[in-house]
Amino acid sequence: MIPNGSAFLRAGGLCLAFVIVQVSCISQINLLGGGANIVPLYVAAVALYAGSIPGAAAGFSAGLLLDLAVGGDVGASSLVLTAVGYGLGRYREVRDPAHSLAPLPVAAVATLAYALGFAAVSFMLSSEADVSALVLRDTVVTVILNCLIALPAFVLVRRVLRPVLVVDPLERRRRRRGPRPTGPIGLRGIGDPGTQL
């Protein structure tokens, strides 16, 4: 990501929008005994399209805003989401996933990592109440629902961040495709009988 004012404005606006929509709308919707959580999706999308440092920064800021908005323990979500954003950013830098369905596993991993990480932090911060097995069901439902909404969420983040990304994800995907077959004199399309110029 190109670190300029526009980038901060776009990433910050997206962060605020995702957190507000999460706490005001998405959290009110209960499906199959659980609910979606779009904040890890935002962090995962930034990490996937911009890399590890923007991913960690997005995780930290989204977590901080979330903790401030819902009155949670300030720093807990930041800690977990920073790690999630950094990890997924490193995955993008090392493996460079360019498949159009890459957001699905990335969203699933981000959601699961956030849920497990947050549970671990909550335990460490001494949760004195009993923990129901339904926490697992809630986690599974959240992962499934997040996978369902991952593609539009990633598309939204990509569209907003595209002007400030160093490498356009769509262009990257086009480059990853192999060259089209050429004809006998080196022109594409001539050698393929089913293709007309």
Partner 1 sequence: MYDKTVRRRRVALAVFIGLSLLLLTTFFGESGGGPLHAVQKGAQEALSPLEEGASRAGKPFSDLVGWTGDVLGAKGENEELEREVERQRKELARAQTDRNEAEQLRGIVGLNRQEGFPTSVEPLSARVIARSPTVWYSTIQINKGSGDGVEVDQPVIASGGLAGRVTSVTGGNARVTLITDATSAVSAQIMPEGATGVVKPEVGDPNDLLLDFVERRSSLKRNAIVVTSGFKSTRNLESLFPRGIPIGKVSRVDAGEIELYQRVHVKPFVDFKRMDIVQVLIPRSEGQRAELRGEASR
Chain positions contacting partner 1, by CB under 8 A: 16, 20-32, 35, 37, 39, 52-53, 56-57, 59-60, 63-76, 78-79, 82-83, 86, 118-119, 122, 125, 127-135, 138
Minimum CB distance to partner 1 smaller for 21 or for 108:
21
Tell me the closest approach of the beta carbon of residue 73 to partner 1, in angstroms: 6
Tell me the closest approach of the beta carbon of residue 98 to partner 1, in angstroms: 21
CB 146 within 8 A of CB 38: yes
Tell me the closest approach of the beta carbon of residue 112 to partner 1, in angstroms: 14
CB 106 within 8 A of CB 84: no
Tell me the closest approach of the beta carbon of residue 126 to partner 1, in angstroms: 9
- 35 contacts: CB under 8 Å, gap ≥ 6: 26, 27, 29, 141, 142, 145
- 6 contacts: CB under 8 Å, gap ≥ 6: 163, 164
Residue 66 CA, distance from chain mean position: 16
Tell me the closest approach of the beta carbon of residue 119 to partner 1, in angstroms: 7
Minimum CB distance to partner 1 smaller for 123 or for 188:
123
Minimum CB distance to partner 1 smaller for 30 or for 196:
30
DSSP H or E run through 62: helix 52-70
Phi, psi of 184, deg, nearest 5: -65, -30
d(CA 196, CA 189): 7
3-state class (DSSP) for residue 56: helix
Tell me the closest approach of the beta carbon of residue 24 to partner 1, in angstroms: 4
Structure tokens at 31: 């499906």
Minimum CB distance to partner 1 smaller for 93 or for 192:
93
